[in-house]
Amino acid sequence: MTAALQHAATRRRLPHLGCLTALAIALTACAAPMGGTNPNLGWLEASSPKTLEVERAQYRHTVHFETDQADLSAIEQERLLTFLQTVAPTRQDTMMIEGHADERAGDLYNLELASRRITSVGDFLQDHGLGGITLHASAFGERVPAAEGSDSESWRQNRRVELVLERHLVELPPCPDWSRESGLDYSNLPGSNFGCATQANLGLMVANPSDLVRGRKLAPASGIHAAESIVRYRTGEVVELQEEELGN
């Protein structure tokens, strides 16, 4: 190829190189500044929204019985009372009561004995002001032993009623959270501490934390209350609110 042809080919390629250079400059100009106001920090991750974590906690207690007995002994009553005072059940809690028996006697008899033991524990709870708590009772008889074996120690462990109290607990978000600097931020990310007070107050004030997991079922609606308020308004029993003049 002659020198003239090479010069012509180079001149034809120059416009394309110029377009690529202009495109690179444009992309660089559109890039967001790194690290907000501090270019040495690099890209910052957007802080996660402040939310409440609700966990389900379980508190367990075992009541033991004498052979072929369903009444609580004085020692077991004291132990059960200590457990109740420690966990302090409320109406928002749920308690499961499971009755058991050892392997001796027949299956039907052991189921009936386990049921009587459940009734005995339920009456004790009723007598100590826990009649309003939600109870779920199940009698298993000898079918779910706590200890495998056919000796006196295994039988002692299997003659029992197990109580499982379930309660929802609220875990507040980590607040305050000043991991990101406040002030001018060109990255347009949410502040790390936004929402702290709102979520923390909700977690501290909610009466039943389980409502944060699943809402309650709506009660039957009635329009009588709303209709009566309209009648009072139309008959003048309710004074219409007047606009107030506010000074400067």
Sketch the domain layout of the chain as residue ranges: 58-167
pLDDT more than 90, % of the chain: 46
Q: Return the pLDDT at 191.
A: 76
- More confident position, 71 or 131: 71
Report the range of poorest mean pLDDT among 24-28, 56-60, 80-84, 160-164.
24-28
The mean per-residue pLDDT over the stretch 4-25 comes to: 46
Query: What mean pLDDT is reported for the chain?
Result: 81
Better-predicted residue by pLDDT, 156 or 1:
156
The dihedral region occupied by 68, where left means phi > 0, alpha psi between -120 and 50, and beta the remainder, is left
CA 140 to each of CA 60, 64, 107, 161, 201: distance values in angstroms, whole numbers, following the listed order: 17, 15, 9, 10, 44
Closest CA to 125 of 180, 67, 59, 80: 80
CB under 8 Å to 184, separation ≥6 — which residues? 36, 37
pLDDT bracket for residue 104 (50, 70, 90): very high
| 3-state percent helix, strand, coil for the chain, nearest multiple of 5 | 40, 15, 45
In this predicted model, what pLDDT tens digit does every residue of 190-234 receive, in sequence order? 778 888 888 999 999 998 898 888 888 887 777 888 888 888 888
Q: What is the CA radius of gyration of the chain?
A: 36
Q: Which residue type is seen at 33?
A: P
Instruction: Tell the CATH superfamily of the 58-167 domain.
Output: OmpA-like domain (3.30.1330.60)
Q: Does residue 235 or residue 186 have the better pLDDT?
A: 235
Instruction: Please indicate whether residue 171 or residue 12 has the higher confidence score (pLDDT).
Output: 171
Angle, to 10 degrees, between the axis of helix 74-87 and the axis of helix 107-127?
Answer: 60
108 three-class SS: helix
Who has greater pLDDT, 69 or 28? 69
pLDDT at position 48: 62
pLDDT (0 to 100) of residue 230 = 86
Q: Can you give the pLDDT at residue 240?
A: 66
Q: What is the pLDDT of residue 241?
A: 67
Range from 33-37, 101-105, 179-183, 193-197 carrying the lowest mean pLDDT: 33-37
Helix, coil or strand: residue 112: helix
